[in-house]
Structure 1
Amino acid sequence: MSASLPYFRYHPEPVASGSIRESAETCACCERATGWIYTATFYTAQDISGRFCPWCIADGSAAERFEGEFTDSYGLDGFSAEILEQVTRRTPGFHAWQDPHWLVHCNDAAAFIGEVGYAELAAHSEALDQLRADLRMGGWHDASRLENFLTHLGQGASAMLFRCTSCGTHLAYADAS
């Protein structure tokens, strides 16, 4: 098994989130079995047989070789080319029912923490309040339906939890099948 995994500023715990797991698979990019493999999304027009190791994600070689991205750039408009490159081409994406997207705060992309249910989200009241406000703006005007939806996160719907890389504020968006 290889040394410790590369550090991803915008996805600091990819094993805990399920985006990277232990595996004997060979990386489709470097053709080595590193002991770890990426399991989430990769967007490309090319045909790829296999998945990538974390090192080929971190150094950008997988995205460059296969002309693809691990995350859509939705929500990252107006950010520097460096941030865009880091998030979309050098950071593991994550599993989601709908198209995953990256949240931002303090003029930077936030760090993806993981998919959470209500109990985990409630531990970060600022994220819960922000999600509640976002859902109201999105058309959830019936307060009791909204609270019922939120308290049942983890049962058919979940929240994607992020943390600001500058101030530490937690953010979330809802994801459902």
Structure 2
Amino acid sequence: MELPKFKYHSDPLKSGSIIESDKVCVCCGESRGYIYGGLPYSEEELEDSICPWCIANGEAHKKFDADFTDYDGIGGYGDWDDIAPEIKEEITFRTPGFTGWQQDQWWTHCNDGANYLGCAGFKEIEEYGLELEMYLKQESTKTYNLKDGQWESFFKALDADGSPTAYIFKCIHCGKHGGYIDFD
């Protein structure tokens, strides 16, 4: 069975947000082979219990008032490009989110939400290239008040499966990579 398409999270299997599972979805009552692996924002306990189809069609949001990303975190709480409310709603209500160390954020660029690619460490960021490394350096230096010489050790400590980690996105218009770094 093919997963629904998500404009702002094109490969939720690769990122780990959607996992293979034979669990029955609490929203539609079906077992379709996949389930959302995160914990939605909701008054209900919904961890590992909603299928991607109920996220994509908005039924999980309608039925449980479930959000999959913090609405205010889209655009980095005002630090990145501002986007239209309907785009924020698509990301919040109908796109699988991801689990971060602190409060999740969703990178925006070209006045739109970006495509979430996944977590990255030092090695993965080097594979993306120098432009992403320089962007993360600029953001991290500002956010964490890094002094001269601290970036290199901070950067080399990045771990896709640990802390600190980088959350990587790609602009759906111009192709630029961006994101942010967070730790426990």
**TM-score (norm. length: structure 1):** 0.92
Q: Which stretches in structure 1 are left out of the alignment for 5+ residues? A: none
- Mean CA deviation greater in 30-39 or 137-146: 137-146
Residue of structure 2 equivalent to 1:32: 30
Tell me how far apart the structure 1 counterparts of residues 166 and 18 of structure 2 sit (CA, whole Å): 19
Q: Match for 1:110: what amino acid?
A: A
- Mean CA deviation greater in 97-106 or 49-58: 49-58
Count of residue pairs the alignment pairs up? 175
The 5-angstrom pairing of residues 2-41 of structure 1 reads 3-41=1-39
Encode CA deviations 1:26-82: one digit per residue, 9 max, x unaligned: 001001101100011300123448610010000000011101210001234652232
Q: Which stretches in structure 2 are left out of the alignment for 5+ residues? A: none
Encode CA deviations 1:100-152: one digit per residue, 9 max, x unaligned: 11000000000100001111112232221111011121243323222101111
Q: Match for 1:143: what amino acid?
A: D
Residue of structure 2 equivalent to 1:63: 61
Q: List structure 1 runs of 4+ shifted beyond 4 angstroms.
A: 47-50
2:38 and 2:47 in contact (8 A); partners too:
no
Shift of the 166–151 alpha-carbon distance from structure 1 to 2, 3 Å rule, reads same
From the two aligned structures, give the one with the greater helix fraction.
2
Shift of the 48–159 alpha-carbon distance from structure 1 to 2, 3 Å rule, reads closer
The CA RMSD over aligned residues, in Å, is: 1.6
Q: Match for 1:10: what amino acid?
A: Y
Q: Match for 2:150: what amino acid?
A: R
Residue of structure 2 equivalent to 1:122: 126
